[in-house]
Amino acid sequence: MKEARVVIMGAGGVGKSALTVQFVRNVFVSTYDPTIEDTYRKNLTIDGQQCMVEILDTAGTEQFMALKELYMKSGQGFILVFSLTHLASVNELGPLREQIVRIKNARVPLVLVGNKSDLKAERQVPREIGTNLSRAWGNVPYYEASARKRINVDEVFADIVRQCRSLEAGMNGNGRSKDKSGRKPKCIVM
């Protein structure tokens, strides 16, 4: 895999841009400036393999609804973010994930992130909520991260790239899954 297109989504104010900018530029953005859409690119090496990661940082789910479906169609992997300091932000992710799965109509590389783990005194979301959501979604990877302290930032993006690579390795040229022997599936009509 030479390039991975990753879409980062979640409610407004959960820290999507802060995570992305911290990953790409090693800088924490402390001021909240609502995003419409930003694209970032970073060349990195994961497990000894080079990869260009293109990250689409999207607006909060309540904003710019018309663009949401376009993001979902273009993405290869998705990072769904909620704030550990805002319980209601978790509730926006279920419908978002369902829409991604429906639009992609396939197994989708996905990472769940509870951001702002450094704000312990303001925490509203217990770890169990994230882990239970992860299990309910088929054991998707769940990370508690902090863009401010750069906790689990690289791990989140490395995980999604690994998932994209794994999915691509199991596909043939036209996007259809190979069978267990590595051959393309055949359709038989009787």
104 located within any domain: yes
Q: What is residue 185's predicted lDDT score, i.e. its pLDDT?
A: 45
144 vs 30: which has the higher pLDDT:
144
Q: For residue range 110-126, what is the model confidence (pLDDT) as tens digits?
A: 999 999 999 999 999 99
184 located within any domain: no
Domain total in the chain: 1
* Domain extent for 113: 3-169
Q: For residue range 134-163, what is the model confidence (pLDDT) as tens digits?
A: 999 999 999 999 999 999 999 999 999 999
CA distances from 174 to 12, 168, 184 (A): 36, 11, 10
154 located within any domain: yes
Q: For residue 187, give the amino acid letter.
A: C
Residue 180 has pLDDT above 60, yes or no: no
181 located within any domain: no
Mean pLDDT across the chain:
85
Identify which of 149, 152, 106 has the alpha carbon closest to the alpha carbon of residue 130: 152
How far apart CA 29 and CA 31 sit, in angstroms, is 6
186 located within any domain: no
